[in-house]
C-alpha cells in the first residue's frame, strides 16, 4: 500500500537549533517526493521536491531509497519557520499526479 508516515505531530526547537522533520514512505515503484508547508493563515504551498535537489529557505531533503525516507532538514531554525509541514508522495505514471500526504508535523521554533 502507498503510505506516507510523519511520526511527529509536533516538533519544538529553539531558534538557531538544527531541525529534522521525519518522513518515511511506503511505495514499491519510483515515487516523486515533496514537502509542502502551511504558514499560519496562509494557503498550503510547495516547499521543495526531491527531483529539484535544491535548497529552499535553507531547507534541504534527500531521498534515501534504501531507508525509504525523505527527511526535511535545516541547520539553523528561524522563528519564521514555524508552520505545519506535510510530506507527500506522487506515485507517478498514469494520467494524473495525485498526491498522498502524511499527517503533518507542526514545527514550533521558540525564541
Partner 1 sequence: DVKVTQSSRYLVKRTGEKVFLECVQDMDHENMFWYRQDPGLGLRLIYFSYDVKMKEKGDIPEGYSVSREKKERFSLILESASTNQTSMYLCASSSSLVRPQHFGDGTRLSIL
Q: Interface residues with partner 1 (CB under 8 A)?
A: 6, 9, 32, 34, 43-46, 49, 86, 88, 92-104
The smaller minimum CB distance to partner 1, of residues 13 and 99, is found at 99
Question: Any idea what the Cα angle at residue 5 is, between residues 41 and 3, rounded to 5°?
Answer: 110
Q: How far is the CB of 6 from partner 1 (least distance, A)?
A: 8
Is 2 or 15 the residue whose CB approaches partner 1 more closely?
2
Q: How far is the CB of 101 from partner 1 (least distance, A)?
A: 4
- Supply the minimum distance, in Å, between the C-beta of residue 30 and partner 1: 13
d(CA 60, CA 53): 8
Please give the torsion angle defined by the CA atoms of residues 12, 84, 35 and 99, in that order, rounded to the nearest 10 degrees: 140
- CA-CA distance, 88 to 101, in Å (whole number)? 4
Amino acid at each position: 500500500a502507498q503510505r506516507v508516515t510523519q511520526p511527529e505531530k509536533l516538533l519544538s526547537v529553539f531558534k538557531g537549533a538544527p531541525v529534522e522533520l521525519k518522513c518515511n514512505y511506503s511505495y514499491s515503484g519510483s515515487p516523486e517526493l515533496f514537502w509542502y508547508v502551511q504558514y499560519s493563515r496562509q494557503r498550503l504551498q510547495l516547499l521543495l521536491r526531491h527531483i529539484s535537489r535544491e535548497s529552499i529557505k535553507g531547507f534541504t531533503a534527500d531521498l534515501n531509497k534504501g531507508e525509504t525516507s525523505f527527511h526535511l532538514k535545516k541547520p539553523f531554525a528561524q522563528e519564521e519557520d514555524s508552520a505545519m509541514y506535510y510530506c507527500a508522495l506522487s506515485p507517478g505514471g498514469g494520467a494524473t499526479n495525485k498526491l498522498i500526504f502524511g499527517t503533518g508535523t507542526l514545527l514550533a521554533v521558540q525564541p
